[in-house]
Amino acid sequence: MGENKSELGLLVYIIPFLAIVPVMHSQGWDSSESAILIVAVPFVTFPVILVAGQIYNGHETWKDKLKEGGILALGALGTSLMAAIWLVYDYFDSLPDFADQNSIAHWLEWVSFDLLQSDYTLTSSKNILGVGVWVDSLTLMLLFVATFLCFLICWFSLGYMNTDPINEDRNHRFYAEFVLFAMGMFGMVLADNFLWLFIFWEVMGLCSYLLIGFYFWKESAAYAAKKAFLTTRVGDVFLMIGLLILYDIYGSLEFSVIFEDPSINGTVDSDKLFWALLMLFVGAVGKSAQFPLHVWLPDAMEGPTPVSALIHAATMVTAGVFLVVRCSPLFEYSETALNLVTIVGMITAIFAASVALVQNDIKKIVAYSTCSQLGYMFFAAGVGAYHVAMFHLFTHAFFKALLFLGSGSVIHAFKDEQDIRNMGGIRKKLPYTYALMLIGTLALTGFPFLSGFYSKDAIIEFAYLRGSSLGNYAASIGIFTAFLTSIYSWRLFFKTFHGSYNNKNIPINETHESPFVMLAPLLLLAIGAVFSGYLFKETFIGHHSTDFWQASVFFLDEIKHDPIPIWFLFLTPTLVVISIPIAYYYFIYNTKILDDFKKTNLPLYYFLLNKWYIDELYEKLFVFPAKKIGSFFWKQGDLGFIDRFGPDGISKLIKKLSNKAGLFQTGFIYDYAFAMLIGLSVLLTYLILN
């Protein structure tokens, strides 16, 4: 990694971008009309960075002043952030009464034509691909999270990506794909129908493939990118099936049609609705890396650290939670579907937490924590606490982005080293990163009065208040998972910053603190990790939270706010607090105990280290048979039949005939004269006989 090159001073170049929204406001533009900027500016910036990077690659101004397109990307995302803030402020300022929040602002209405009916008559012209925004509390909360985090992550990238020699003359591709990814996020959140939600989600899927495989010359990165792309395509198939069933039920994919009366006065076929919800949920499972379609997410850490933060903390993997909550008016009419959501969330939470206990890659540990926290969000939605699921999504975004970018700062100091066994003893060398990672760790574990404490405990409490056996199981799993989360989080923290220095390749004096351009976004995220839970608890999950969520989240039954036993309230925080000295003792003070335990329980250790052998199971059940089938069709079908009797067969036949014909080309006149004589004799014979 190189030295700080005053990237912070270059932020002045984004001022023209940030001036766009104030100018539009002064000209009398409406915030909903200007919402198109949130998607349009990144979309336009994408080809600009890509083309300019190809033309000016290596040019001094392009490289040093514009950071290979990083400044343009940051300016575009800053514009989206300001437009989002304007929309949020204007919406809540102008609508103090939340009784009817849902509103649609249409940008374009296009592809209008007549449709042929079964009786061969034409219907009246219909607009079937209208592009618009669906504005409600759910949209605006997630939109702010997405725009804010994308801006900060891009800001961090100016220091992380542009000081790494390995990325020389390639960063224009990174920033172009980054803004296109962000465009997909923003479009998905703002979409006013399921079709455009799906389309924008696919844009994110494409960009995640490109960004995970950014270091394409590394076999592991290329493999991880393909794995992520193919696994999420499984979710796509089910999602499309679900959308087709929804269209069959409601005759539309517009939110305004489907959510206006989800039961259509009680006439909706419950079985058909269940299958639609099941397909949608499986799609969300694939996209959000839930068990058993989680296998792509840890491997996605092969991409640059900002990409990891973008995928995990923003809306890429949390979009599945968003989809389930958005469809709450439908899920409320299918208890079976909700129970399935709860069960999958429970399994994912405990699975990911258990695997994270023994991982050694700093980013993979944080990645598995994302899987686990997403499990919390899903089973919160499954028990009907949709608002609590979104509250945890909100707080999780801050501390998870903080942990990923903090890990990036550590990797930056260790010159791309990611194994925590090769770290340790650097808290004095990286004091700011140490303090910021400490805040992120405390928030993730649910330490009292930090953001994770308010949202995670709320999930456990609402699961308990459901009063069902499944709810009690979910609450128990949540408590145990919280303890495991605290253990593996402190393991990462202590082994990274405490104990003795263990890196034999890099002298400790060569490690250094990250530049301010990288630390500034972490500081802003740390503020969110500390205060977001306390400041927004009452708004999102308080007694009057239905006033906030009323039009965007549907509750068939009234939300319970019954008293909870004192012992239950203190159980999870107590386990979280006592886990700190336990982790320090076993991971720093007396490591021999764990070493001995590992030696005597090797099957358990390897079971967790190999991620419950799910990847190996997939290899045997799906990958190996697919390769065998592919090999069969290649050898027997392609080579054995198509090539043999097609292009290759025809060419061989022509070649063979040509060789035979060549035998008659001797070059001797008497041979040609003899052939002419034979031909003339045959012709005369034919004429005489006929």
pLDDT above 70 for 379: yes
Which of 292-296, 573-577, 686-690 is predicted least confidently?
686-690
- Residue 167: the pLDDT is 65
Q: What is the pLDDT of residue 527?
A: 95
Task: Give the model confidence (pLDDT) of 172-218 as tens digits.
Answer: 889 999 999 999 999 999 888 898 899 999 999 899 999 998 888 88
Residue with token string 């269940």? 274
Residue 126 pairs in a beta bridge with 113
Q: Which long-range contacts (C-beta less than 8 Å, at least 24 apart) are formed by 266-271?
A: 268/333, 270/333, 270/334
DSSP3 helix / strand / coil % (the chain, rounded to 5): 75, 5, 25
pLDDT band (50, 70, 90) for residue 126: very low
Q: Does 389 have pLDDT greater than 90?
A: yes
pTM: 0.86
Burial of 517 (0-12, 13-18, 19+ CB in 10 A): buried
Q: Tell me: the pLDDT tens digits for 468-481?
A: 888 889 999 999 99
Per-residue pLDDT, 560:
66
* Structure confidence at residue 636 as a pLDDT band (50, 70, 90): confident
3-state secondary structure labels for all residues of 564-600: CCHHHHHHHHHHHHHHHHHHHHHHHHCCHHHHHHHHH
- Per the rule left: phi > 0, alpha: psi between -120 and 50, beta: everything else, 227 is alpha
Nearest partner of 157 among 5, 307, 317, 366, judged by Cα: 307
Q: What digits encode the pLDDT tens for the residues 498-550?
A: 988 888 888 888 888 888 888 999 999 999 999 999 999 988 888 878 878 87
Identify the pLDDT of residue 348. 94
pLDDT at 114: 41
For residues 239-262, average pLDDT: 86
CA distances to 419, 669, 683 from 677, in Å = 88, 12, 10
Q: What is the pLDDT of residue 116?
A: 41
Residue range 110-132: mean pLDDT, rounded: 45
The stretch 139-148 carries a mean pLDDT of 91
pLDDT of residue 113: 37
- Segment 223-240 shows an average pLDDT of 89
DSSP label at residue 127: E
pLDDT single digits (tens) 28-53: 777 777 788 889 899 999 999 999 88
Compute the mean pLDDT over every residue in the chain, rounded to the nearest whole number. 84
What pLDDT is recorded for position 111?
A: 39
Residues paired with residue 193 on neighbouring β-strands, in sequence order:
254
Higher model confidence: residue 28 or residue 491?
491
Closest CA to 541 of 666, 392, 642, 665: 392
For residue range 288-340, what is the model confidence (pLDDT) as tens digits? 888 888 888 888 888 888 888 888 776 778 888 999 999 888 888 888 899 99
Q: At residue 315, what are phi and psi to the nearest 5 degrees?
A: -115, 5
Tokens of 267: 């006439």
- For residues 59-77, average pLDDT: 86
Confidence (pLDDT) at 561? 66
The pLDDT, as a whole number, for residue 99 is 39
Confidence of residue 631 (pLDDT cuts 50, 70, 90): confident
- End-to-end CA, the chain: 94
520: CB partners within 8 A, 6+ apart: 8, 155
The residue-averaged pLDDT of 602-626 equals: 86
Mean pLDDT across 546-571: 78
Residue labelled with tokens 């900002």: 306
pLDDT in the model for residue 86: 87
Mean pLDDT, residues 412-429 taken together: 87
Give CA–CA dist 295/224, Å, rounded. 10
Helix H or strand E encompassing 463: helix 451-465
Please report the pLDDT score of residue 273 as a whole number: 87
d(CA 363, CA 417): 11
Find how far residue 598's CA is from the centre of its chain.
34
Distances (CA, A) of 95 to 21, 102, 480: 21, 11, 42
> pLDDT, tens digit, for every residue of 433-485?
999 999 999 999 999 999 999 999 999 998 998 878 888 899 999 999 999 99
Q: What is the mean pLDDT of residues 263-284?
A: 83
More reliable by pLDDT, 373 or 260: 373
> Quick one: what percent of the chain has pLDDT higher than 90?
34
Contact 384, 554 (CB under 8 A): no
Q: Residues 184, 201: contact at Cβ < 8 Å? A: yes
Arithmetic mean of pLDDT, 231-260: 87
pLDDT at 122 over 80: no
Burial status of residue 676 (CB atoms within 10 A of its CB: 0-12, 13-18, 19 or more):
exposed
- Is pLDDT at 616 greater than 90 in this prediction? no
Residue 424's pLDDT is: 87
pLDDT of residue 94: 65
3-state secondary structure 64-107: HHCHHHHHHHHHHHHHHHHHHHHHHHHHHHHCCCHHHCCEEEEE
Using 50, 70 and 90 to split pLDDT, how confident is the model at 253?
Answer: confident
Residue bearing the bigger pLDDT, 135 or 263: 135
Which residues on adjacent β-strands are paired with residue 112?
127
pLDDT at 356: 93
Give exposure, 64-102, as e/b (b: 16+ Cβ within 10 Å): eebbbbbbbbbbbbbbbbbbbbbbbebbeeeeeebeebb
Cα separation, 88 vs 74, whole angstroms: 21
Residue 549 CB contacts under 8 Å (≥ 6 apart), including other chains: 137, 138, 386, 387, 540
